[in-house]
Amino acid sequence: MDSLGVNIGLDSSSAITGSLSSSEATSKTSVKSVYNSISKRVDEVEDILSSNSFYSPDLDKATQQSINSILESTGDPYAKYFNAQDYSKLIEESKSNQYAGAGFTLNEMNGKCYIADVFDDSEAAVKGVKTGDYIKSINGANQLNKSAVEVTNEIGNNSGKSIVATFVHPLSSYGDTGEEYTVNLSISDQDVQNVTSSVSDGLAYINIHQFNDETESVLSALVKELDTDDVSAFVIDVRSNPGDYLSGALDSSALFLNSGTLVTIETTEGNSDRTTEGQTITSKPIVLIVDSNTSAAAEVFVASLHDNNRAAVVGHKTAGKGTVAAMRELTFGGAVRYTAARYITPSGNYIQDNGISPDIEVSDVSDLSYDDATLSSAIDSAVGIASR
């Protein structure tokens, strides 16, 4: 099966990069006049100023403001311009600080970096950092309107030290206002198991915290180990899973399907299907637990199994983050990020802004443990649905 390897839970700096060649640019550009071209309209103003005005625009400042205005006008929530200095810093820091953290993972939504998952027993968990909170500042520096990679790097730059971080606990999911609080957090290398498991009352519980290049192999080995006569079904928990690598999500869902379409990826060039064909590693029923922080590639994982009638879904409607951002370097320095693709579920629905609705709705599912009576009852019912 083809794998895209697109990191979308944190950011997509490594997803799609490069510059258009002159021939490619020509093929993608129609004949433009001042009536249908931003560049020609700006050229006209620039020519007037250079010929007649006592004042000249500051090139770098005008470039920054112009590009930001263009990107804002598109309505693309993930569009962002990085000048040459910021882009160079972003690439450098992404290579050196990717493992340093404060006990949580981040997701990006509406110009804010939200806590996607808080690791059990971490300092962040002890000090009250909650899934769904967003970061307002680090050591007094504003973090709003920064990408998740930029914020992650800002945290990683303080490895071996501590930071003063201000968070906001929003009044509503991904809301703009809420209770503000500040905590000190130690920054260190994070060594957290990405896939964990337990067995109780004939059910094998597997928690996938995020999808990466190793998830499929770890998950495969774990399912084969747990698939005994004492286990009647598998419960896979992807609550607060920010997604991360699409390839990891697709390879993982393919483990449980003999054949089928996993996802359709829509771009300006057209649609392409990601499919699988092979042997499932288990024939036992599968139940997926989701919440409003199940996002991006994790939503693809859920939809691929649910829409192929391989799993029942329990919990709360997922985040609805179903786009792929691309980062393209600019010939004059820097880079621009923009939405380049959208995910379509096997049943033909867009994930973006829609999310995945569960078969069995459970309110406030994010904080419920497996032995909670409400969640336990819903899982039992979902096992029955998945067994049909």
Q: How confident is the model at residue 360 (pLDDT cuts 50, 70, 90)?
A: very high
Radius of gyration of the chain from its Cα atoms, rounded to whole angstroms: 23
Q: Which residues pair with 106 in a beta bridge?
A: 115
Report the percent of the chain where pLDDT is more than 70.
Answer: 89
Strand ranges for the chain from DSSP E: 80-82, 100-101, 104-109, 112-118, 134-138, 141-142, 162-170, 178-186, 188-189, 195-200, 203-208, 233-237, 259-267, 270-277, 286-290, 311-315, 323-329, 335-344, 360-361
Look at residue 12 in the predicted model and tell me its pLDDT: 36
More confident residue, 22 or 133: 133
Average pLDDT, the chain: 88
Q: What is the pLDDT of residue 95?
A: 66
pLDDT band at 190 (very low <50, low <70, confident <90, very high): low
Residue 328 contacts residue 18 (beta carbons within 8 Å):
yes
Mean pLDDT computed over 200-216 = 94
Instruction: Give the pLDDT of residue 99.
Output: 56
70: number of Cβ within 10 Å = 15
pLDDT digits (tens, 9 = 90+) for 217-260: 999 999 999 999 999 999 999 999 999 899 999 999 999 999 99
The closest alpha carbon to 44, from 34, 59, 52, 53, belongs to: 34
Higher pLDDT pick, 212 / 287: 287
**Where residue 134 falls among pLDDT bands split at 50, 70, 90?**
very high
What is the model's pLDDT at position 220?
97
Q: What confidence category does residue 53 fall into, taking pLDDT thresholds of 50, 70 and 90? A: very high
CA distance 29 to 97: 39
Can you give the pLDDT at residue 16? 33
The pLDDT value given to residue 92: 79
The DSSP call for residue 219 is: H
- Alpha carbon distances (Å) from 89 to 29, 108, 150, 304, 388: 31, 19, 9, 37, 53
What integer pLDDT is reported at residue 8 of this predicted model?
A: 35
In this prediction, residue 174 carries a pLDDT of: 73
pLDDT at 18: 36
- Lowest mean pLDDT, pick from 26-35, 141-150, 272-281, 346-355: 26-35
**64: amino acid identity, one letter:** Q
pLDDT higher than threshold 60 for residue 98: no
Q: Which long-range contacts (CB under 8 A, 24 or more apart) does 363-366 make?
A: 363/316, 365/239, 365/289, 365/290, 365/291, 365/314, 365/315, 365/316, 366/131, 366/132, 366/239, 366/240, 366/291, 366/292, 366/293, 366/316
The strand pair at 104-109 and 112-118 is best described as: antiparallel
Longest dimension (CA), the chain: 85
pLDDT at 21 over 70: no
- pLDDT given for residue 47 in this prediction: 95
- In degrees rounded to 5, what are phi and psi of residue 21? -75, 165
Quick one: pLDDT at residue 94?
67
- Reading the block at residue 382, the tokens are 């979902």
Task: Lowest mean pLDDT of 4-18, 234-248, 264-278, 285-299, name the range.
Answer: 4-18
30 pLDDT band, cuts 50/70/90, is: low
Pairing of strands 203-208, 134-138: unpaired
Question: Which of 165, 202, 198 minimizes the C-alpha distance to 180?
Answer: 165
For residue 79, the SS3 value is coil
CB 132 within 8 A of CB 166: no
Q: What is the identity of the amino acid at 125?
A: A
Q: What is the mean pLDDT of residues 373-380?
A: 97
DSSP string, 113-177: EEEEEE-TT-HHHHTT--TT-EEEEETTEE-TT--HHHHHHHHHTTTTSEEEEEEEEESSTT-S-
Amino acid at 218: V
In which band, very low, low, confident or very high, does the pLDDT at 152 lie, cut at 50, 70 and 90? Answer: confident
pLDDT band of 314, cuts 50, 70, 90: very high
Contact criterion met (CB below 8 Å) for 253 and 241: no
